Amino acid sequence: MKAEFVDALRRAVGDNGLLVEPEQLRTYECDGLTNFRVVPAAVVLPSDATQVQEVVRLCHRGRVPFVARGSGTGLSGGALPVDGGIVISLARLNRILEVDFENARVTVEPGVINAQVTQRVAARGYFFAPDPSSQQVCTVGGNVAENSGGAHCLKYGFTVTHVLGLEVILPDGSLVHLGGKTLDRPGYDLTGVFVGSEGTLGIATKIVLRVVKRPEAIKTLIAAFDSTDEAGEAVSRVIAEGIVPAAVEMMDRLALEAAEAAVHAGYPDCEALLLVEVDGPAAEVASSMERVKDLCASCGAWEMRLSETEEERALVWKGRKAAFAAMGRISPNYIVQDGVIPRTALALVLRDIERLSREAGLRVANVFHAGDGNLHPLVLYDRKIEGQEHRAEELAFDILKLCVDAGGSITGEHGVGREKRDIMPTMFAEPDLETMQLVRCAFDPEGLANPEKIFPRPRLCAEKPGPYKPHPLEVAGVAELF
């Protein structure tokens, strides 16, 4: 990296906003997915949107690729730096700018932590619905990049459902506003396509969020089953009954063992545990939960516990949310995967996962958002044993292929990032990927924003100025807005 460029960065963000020492840079060499590592040429920590814009302008002028980063909790290598590029950390843009309770809107900077949004509005009975397991540390900007889900998106939707507007620095350094505080702004829904674009279309510097009124009642049931098949059947029957739970989670024996060792949630000793949460008006919740219990019992649940207090509920969830990290208790290393299947294929896919696991000689623990078919198989291995890491990676991808074959997806909430880039063609044909990249070409024709992510091959963007023809109104000088 040229010294003049580094000097220009320093002028843009100040001495305390620039990291160039190798030890400092190494902190940024990977995100939550640690088997890909690239040390960036520099890291900048701008303190406001103007500084972000100045940095992006410099990158554009010098054709230096950049990767935006929140807390670095991503699990697909989405914040993996690019060789020779810089990392733009949004950690210092951490202000909650406006809270408008009457309209249920909150405007934040991208570095605000997910859980802080809920903390800020909780006293008035509101919450921010997307709740990835990392919500105590992950940023809203990161949630926007990944279109994060969480356990409750079955009912409440994903991050995109809760983002109404964005201020974005485009990869050429220009600033645009997408969407806004009101619904259905005229024009293309660029907010909808920006959310989940994994940092490849620009950097959001302001985010208008919708917050949701906390339901009057919440009931959480755990039910123990002798097999994942039985638990899966219970989920199907609940859904077929016309009940939309707030969350339905399933853990298999191995996942339960790890979670129990980590947080002592007091889960029953069983082959499959179902966690069903129902929320809403008290009378509706009471009626739905009775039916859920009956249906679980009819599918073979031999122990059911309803959380009676907020503390009990918190403990039940703590075990579930700690499940990934808990794997460290039962295995030296593990890979978290993130496949999605149509819910009805659950039993079939689980049997295939078991078969693949046996063939590979590696254990697989299963944690699912069972309500929406989002599987998180955890492939356990020991890096110190020659060849095991490679086998584990292969097994993880084979499981994702199973998901695609069953009509599902290679990622439900973790993103494609660097990790799954090369298996995108298992899910999409060439014209599909080329068409998606038309969007990229409109936003970032030079491919500077988080390159080498999502798409196995970048599309060459035609530099056509476009045969833009003036509208007759424009010609007539009528439409002052054109």
Partner 1 sequence: MSAHLQTQWEGIVAIAGAEHVRAASPSDAVDDVEPRAVVEPESAADLARVLSYAGERGLSVAPRGGGTKLGWGNTPRTVDLALSTRRLGSIVEHAWGDMTATVGAGCTVDHFQSVLAEHGQRLAVDPLWPARATVGGILATNDSGALRMAFGSLRDQVIGVTVALADGTIAKSGGRVVKNVAGYDLPKLLTGSLGTLGVICEATFRLYPLPREERTLSFSTPAVDVMNRFVLAVLDSPLVATGLQVCAEERTPAPVIYVRLEGAREANESQERRLVELGRDTGVRRVDAPPRVWKAREGVWQGERPALVCKFSVLPTRLGGFCDLAREVASSLSLEWSIVAQALGVGLLRLEGGDEERLVAALKRLRGEVEKTQGSLVALHCPPAVKARVDVWGEVGDALPLMRRVKVQFDPAGILNPGRFVGGI
Residues 381-420 that bind partner 1 (CB under 8 A): 407-416, 420
- Shortest separation between residue 119's beta carbon and partner 1, angstroms: 19
Q: Closer to partner 1 at the Cβ: 284 or 389?
A: 284
Q: Closer to partner 1 at the Cβ: 84 or 407?
A: 407
Residue 41 tokens read as 């040429």
Give the gyration radius of the chain's Cα atoms: 23
Site for partner 1 in 431-460 (CB under 8 A): 431-436, 438-443, 454
Q: Closer to partner 1 at the Cβ: 332 or 342?
A: 342
Question: What is the Cα–Cα distance from 460 to 441, expressed in whole angstroms?
Answer: 8
243 binds partner 1, rule: CB under 8 A: yes
Interacting residue with partner 1 among 51, 73, 107, 197 (CB under 8 A)? 197
- Shortest separation between residue 456's beta carbon and partner 1, angstroms: 11
282 binds partner 1, rule: CB under 8 A: yes
Binding mask 287-306 for partner 1 (x = CB under 8 A): xx------------------
Those residues whose C-beta lies under 8 Å from the C-beta of residue 405, and which sit 6 or more positions away, are none
Task: Report the SS3 class of residue 417.
Answer: coil
Binding mask 89-108 for partner 1 (x = CB under 8 A): ------------xxxxx---
Q: Closer to partner 1 at the Cβ: 18 or 416?
A: 416
- Shortest separation between residue 401's beta carbon and partner 1, angstroms: 13
Which conformational region is residue 251 in: left (phi greater than 0), alpha (psi within -120 to 50 degrees), or beta?
beta
68 binds partner 1, rule: CB under 8 A: no
Question: What is the Cα–Cα distance from 316 to 103, expressed in whole angstroms?
Answer: 33
Task: Report residue 243: phi and psi, to 5°.
Answer: -95, 130
Question: What is the Cα–Cα distance from 271 to 325, expressed in whole angstroms?
Answer: 20
DSSP code string of 420-468: SGGGGGGTS-HHHHHHHHHHHHHH-TT--BSTTSS-SSPPPPP------
Interacting residue with partner 1 among 69, 206, 343, 453 (CB under 8 A)? 343
Region of 12-20, 36-44, 241-249, 320-328 interacting with partner 1 (CB under 8 A): 241-249
173 binds partner 1, rule: CB under 8 A: no
Element (H, E) at 163: strand 163-169
Is residue 262 within 8 A of residue 209, CB to CB? The reply is no
Which of 40, 8, 52 shows the shortest CA–CA distance to 173? 52
141 binds partner 1, rule: CB under 8 A: no
- Shortest separation between residue 235's beta carbon and partner 1, angstroms: 10
| Helix, strand, coil percent values for the chain (each to nearest 5) | 40, 20, 40
Q: Closer to partner 1 at the Cβ: 81 or 417?
A: 417
Those residues whose C-beta lies under 8 Å from the C-beta of residue 248, and which sit 6 or more positions away, are 154, 235, 238, 274, 275, 276, 277, 369, 370, 371
- Shortest separation between residue 213's beta carbon and partner 1, angstroms: 6
Binding mask 346-375 for partner 1 (x = CB under 8 A): -----------------------x--xxx-
Angle of CA points 51, 131, 377, to nearest 5°: 110
340 binds partner 1, rule: CB under 8 A: yes
Site for partner 1 in 211-240 (CB under 8 A): 213-216, 236, 239-240
Binding mask 119-138 for partner 1 (x = CB under 8 A): ------x-------------
**At 403, which amino acid appears?**
C
Please tell me the count of residues contacting partner 1 according to CB under 8 A: 107
- Shortest separation between residue 321's beta carbon and partner 1, angstroms: 17
474 binds partner 1, rule: CB under 8 A: yes
